[in-house]
Amino acid sequence: MTNRVPIIAMVVLAAAVTPLMVSAASVPSVGSLAPEFTLTSQEGTPISLQDYRGKWVVLYFYPKDFTSGCTIEAHNFQRDQPQYQQRNVVVLGVSVDSTDSHKQFCTKEGLNFKLLADTDHKVSSAYGSLTNLGLVKFASRHTFIINPEGKVAKVFTEVNPNKHSEEVLAALTELQKPSGSSR
């Protein structure tokens, strides 16, 4: 007999204390080349960061499909998709959940942007976004804005899922301002 409630409660509690924990790998710094990856989307197709060279990418890591904070955060990114598309920005969500879990989550919640399955934890680790509680590992709630050249332009390590999409859009407004323009 499996008892999912304590496991889910543990993951939710761990997500709440994540800002207090230090992950093993360091978070890529602003100006550094974003770590390359290829992961499978909820549609079963491989998605590589390199596929989006020439576009801005919002790469957000989240703990678990179907949990309240993660659902709120995903809904807000979904709500704001027209604004991201206007700015030539692709939103990619990453967790250690399976492709099947992502597919069910997207179907249930009406999400049409890509969620990527990092089941071997390599990408979450490369971005310093893996929380390891021994038996339970999950992605920390971190977000990276990656510029069209593939460099990290902004890092968020303290994320409030209720207002995060608005924060990301505000950061993109600043980052995408033409520099030295005389218009």
**Residues catalogued as catalytic:** 70
SS3 39: strand
Tell me which amino acid residue 179 is: S
Q: Which two tokens stand for residue 29?
A: 């710094």
CA distances from 129 to 6, 60, 72, 140 (A): 23, 10, 19, 5
Tell me which amino acid residue 94 is: V
Residues of 137-172 as b/e, b for ≥16 C-beta within 10 angstroms? ebbbbbbbbbbeebebbbbbeebebeebbeebbebb
Q: Compute how many other C-beta atoms are within 10 angstroms of the C-beta atom of residue 114.
A: 19
Tell me which amino acid residue 61 is: F
